[in-house]
Chain A
Amino acid sequence: MTETSESGVMGDRAIISVRNLVKHFPVETGILRRQVGVVKAVDNVNFDLNEGETLALVGESGCGKTTTSHCIIQAQRPTSGQVFFRLGDDEPMDLTQMEKGELKGARRNIRMIYQDPYSSLNPRMTLLQIIGEPLAIHRMVESQEELRVRVADLLRLVRLDPSTLNRYPHAFSGGQRQRIAIARALSLSPKVVIADEAVSALDVSVQAQILNLLKELQHQLGLTYLFVAHNLAVVKYEADRVAVMYAGKIVEIGETEELYTSPRHPYTEALISAAPNPDPDTKHRARIVLAGEVADPGNLPAGCAFHPRCRYAEDRCRQEAPELVDVGGSEGQSHFSACHFAESLELTGIAGGLQSEKRGNE
């Protein structure tokens, strides 16, 4: 990807730059742990996370979106590649080269929200202990009293009653627990929050509350989000830019509206088409139903990994893996696609045909 400015390794507005990120898991067998293969969970991923934006990583299970996010925060160490992080005007630092002690500082600024709010909160600790834990570890408070004040403030921030800080997680519903997880993530005033399927486990009515809360907090605190999700409608609502992943690679990345209305990769087109829409009028629309299943990252097809399922595939796709290149969006925005025929294909987004039908009905 070519967003890098002359000044250095990172894009101008980037707070995190991921460069040539690779995460391979060896497939071992037998007592002697003989390596018989490799799962290419993340395979040469490049992108910039710009300050103040929400970038979504979307894709189906096994596409490498969660592994990518874990490699950024170094919860899993990448096989190769760099993850640059820059605070203000400081020099970018490569997180992949840091030892545990050094990472502690960086991780103050990059925090994580998990999918399952039942597993991510220690049931044996009170809210005060859970939310106060990062503050205590990083010695950001002087006294127990100060800790109480800070935690109460954080609870207010996520719209929970601050008087509940002595309660245990079992006193809260799924949506409230996710608010607690958000409060913990925000307790160290981070710059970047990685939300790993943060709303997928919630009921729709509560999911909407959390989506709106995340947006408000972003405006209020100037946060940058990396939003890992599989639900395209949720991503469309929440993200400024979207990166679509397939079999460990980014196949398309662009501004949300642009990507949804005029996708430039056949996989994106198929994903958008497959997403069920809560509107019975679109019931009989022509849908692209992909044949087969997601490519196995342990046994990728040659050429473009998507070619066995792609209805536009030609010989070239079976032999040559496409590069992620800027195909140009509207109004001079960049729009990258990893498809040999990105320039020539006429792909359908959410605007196609459907729009006029809908208008007629209202």
Chain B
Amino acid sequence: MTQAAGTAPLDGVPAADQTDQRVLVASQWQLIRWRFFRHKLAVISLVVLGAFYFVAIFAEFVAPYDPTDFREELTLAPPHTIRFVDPDGNFHLRPFVHPFKKTLDSVTYAAIFVEDETVMQPLGLFVRSDPYKLWGLFESEIHLFGLQDPDARLSLLGQDTVGRDLFTRIVYGARISLTIGLVGVAMSFFLGILFGGLSGYLGGTVDMVIQRIIESLRALPTLPLWMALSIALPSDWPVLRTYFAIVIILSTVGWTSIARVVRGRFFALREEDFVGAAELDGASNLRIIFRYLLPSFLSYIIARLTLAIPQMILGETALSFIGLGLQPPAISWGVLLKDAQAIRVLALSPWLLLPTVFVVVTILAFNFVGDGLRDASDPYTHV
């Protein structure tokens, strides 16, 4: 179809609004926002991610228990069924659980947990249980939810191999697993913009050298590289230091793709007439970079970064799973999954695999958001 004349059609902006005053004076970011919000899956994913990050930030408050507190008698207890109807068929507005009674299987001598239907333990919001210090600052005992009886244990997603609450540990694990992607991507972003920008702006020999380095790095298989690097980490390092070391390891390869994108956009944009026109206007190099080049590809880079986060998360999960990443007592989703390595677990305690669900949901959500951002990142359809 020949491109229609008239005002340039903007993708994602409803036809009826095209002549709307708001659209005529809408900046790039407004147009991107409107376009992004038309991408339903991306918006839902964004809400999911927002909820996850909220949980991660307020982990102490959201998690009903202390992540290290263990109850031996509840080792490998399954998730509770949350009920509204008691054994007599009466409906209760407030949900409740039956506590577990532990018996031994007469043949295998394995522990069997049965619900004790004679006892009802109601759930509540803002209940008291294990004391904590939020961000190491504010002392409290109030948790978002839990059983009203401070001594009873709600097993929302089951208990782990030493009787720690899995849901609590997943919530705490989100802290590391969700931020490692962000910090890693921030590192990659910094390195990528720096080297990609140098490559694209200076060109020539610098460009060639940087491109060869990038190609060499990308030629290395990632997992063996990460493994080699993490084996070199001293095992007595504190959790925080290991965490940053892992981030740096993950970024060694991550920045290369960002650098390539930045370089490519740089070259493409230099061909745009409006950049040439700015040069003829007498604009300085810095002015051209900050006023013309950066705003033109920032949105695009952000979209690319969003799509790079899942790789970081998967990287951390993989390293920790094979035991080369973070080590207990650090809690990450990868560390939690290490518990699920034994085949016995899969058969008897499948809930130990639940951290995978969170990994998958997070990665899908990041991918959807990234897709939405990428589609929205250039709201100007060129003829």
Contacts and interface: CB of A to CB of B under 8 A. Distances in A.
- Asked whether any CB of A lies within 8 Å of a CB of B in the complex, the reply is yes
Interface of A: 73, 75, 104, 107-108, 111-112, 114-116, 118-124, 126, 133-134, 137-138, 164, 166-174, 184, 203, 206
B274 A121 contact: yes
A119 B274 contact: yes
B380 interface: yes
B137 interface: no
B228 interface: no
Interface residues of B, number: 31
B277 A114 contact: yes
Interface of B: 5-8, 10, 23-28, 31, 272-274, 276-283, 287, 292, 295-296, 379-380, 382-383
B15 to A, nearest CB: 14
A126 B27 CA distance: 8
A73 B280 contact: yes
Contacts of A118: 8, 382-383
30 contacts: A73-B280, A75-B280, A107-B280, A107-B281, A112-B280, A114-B273, A116-B383, A119-B272, A120-B273, A122-B274, A122-B292, A123-B28, A123-B380, A124-B296, A134-B282, A137-B281, A137-B282, A137-B287, A164-B24, A168-B25, A168-B26, A170-B7, A171-B7, A171-B24, A171-B25, A173-B5, A173-B6, A173-B7, A184-B277, A203-B5
Nearest to A205: B5
Contacts of B7: 170-173
A126 B10 CA distance: 16
A119 B382 contact: yes
Contacts of B24: 164, 167-168, 171
Nearest to A170: B8
B278 A133 contact: yes
A174 B8 CA distance: 8
Contacts of A124: 27-28, 295-296
A133 B6 contact: no
Contacts of B31: 170
A104 B282 contact: yes
Contact of B10 (A114, A133, A134, A170): A170
The 10 closest A-B pairs by CB, nearest first: A120-B273, A171-B24, A104-B282, A123-B380, A119-B273, A122-B274, A114-B273, A167-B24, A134-B281, A124-B28
A133 B275 CA distance: 12
A107 B7 CA distance: 31
Given A118-B383, A173-B5, A166 B25 contact: yes
Nearest to A196: B273
A317 B272 CA distance: 41
A278 to B, nearest CB: 20
A133 B283 contact: yes
A48 B5 CA distance: 38
B284 to A, nearest CB: 8
Given A75-B280, A203-B5, A167 B273 contact: no
Given A124-B295, A173-B5, A107 B282 contact: yes
B31 to A, nearest CB: 8
Contacts of A167: 24-25
Nearest to A74: B280
Contact of B280 (A111, A166, A169): A111
Nearest to A122: B274
Contacts of A119: 272-274, 382
